[in-house]
């Protein structure tokens, strides 16, 4: 993967830290691109939820971004990240909380995974690629997860603590999945550098 001239757009501070450790030019755009779309050629970089077929820790080098209806927003050859799987990413508007909704989205859109930022970046006309690691599989319920991150991408510590207390085991599994995904993302891009 040639990262020269590309800005790696991250929704959260955790994703941004990974990109910076890799020496990539980064921009933290927040959840759903709340901080706005940066200038230049962009890569959507971070974690995503599986809609089926991808497991926690799999890295997706997307060749297509679609909306909830399956309409193509962006298409390209991918960035060539070694060891990553090619596929389709759904650029959604909200965090997908449950398995039934994920099944429905996959059936309608044909996508392999979903995030909240790639669709907006694709619509900007400056998307060069998407590299996302799977943090939760298609059967994971992530109710309340959106209360753990501020819109600008910073961790909401009180919200995170409340979520862990109320969700207990599910929260711990989700956190482990996110950590595994971020490690897989870092390893895949580092191996390709």
How much is the pTM? 0.91
Q: 42-72: per-residue pLDDT in tens?
A: 999 999 988 888 999 999 999 999 998 999 9
Residue-range domains of the chain with CATH: 6-192 (3.40.50.1580)
Picking from 1-5, 130-134, 157-161, which range would have the lowest pLDDT averaged per residue? 1-5
Cα separation of 54 and 156, whole Å?
28
Question: Count of CB atoms within 10 A of residue 170's CB?
Answer: 17
Q: 127-156: per-residue pLDDT in tens?
A: 999 999 999 887 777 677 778 889 999 999
**Packed helices 169-192 and 157-167: angle between N→C axes, nearest 10 degrees:** 120
Q: 102-120: per-residue pLDDT in tens?
A: 888 888 888 999 999 999 9
């Amino acid at each position: 993967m040639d990262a020269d001239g590309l800005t790696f757009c991250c929704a959260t501070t955790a994703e941004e830290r990974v990109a910076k450790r890799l020496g990539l030019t980064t921009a933290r755009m927040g959840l759903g691109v709340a901080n706005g779309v940066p200038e230049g050629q962009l890569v959507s970089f971070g974690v995503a939820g599986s809609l089926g077929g991808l497991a926690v820790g799999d890295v997706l080098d997307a060749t297509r971004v679609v909306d909830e209806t399956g309409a193509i927003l962006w298409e390209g050859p991918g960035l060539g990240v070694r060891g990553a799987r090619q596929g389709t990413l759904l650029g959604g508007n909200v965090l997908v909380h449950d398995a039934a909704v994920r099944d429905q989205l996959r059936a309608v859109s044909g996508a392999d995974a979903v995030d909240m930022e790639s669709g907006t970046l694709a619509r900007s006309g400056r998307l060069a690629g998407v590299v996302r690691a799977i943090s939760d599989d298609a059967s994971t319920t992530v109710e309340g997860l959106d209360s753990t991150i501020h819109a600008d991408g910073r961790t909401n510590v009180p919200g995170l603590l409340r979520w862990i207390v109320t969700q207990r085991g599910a929260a711990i599994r989700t956190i482990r999945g996110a950590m595994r995904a971020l490690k897989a993302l870092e390893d895949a891009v580092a191996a390709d550098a």
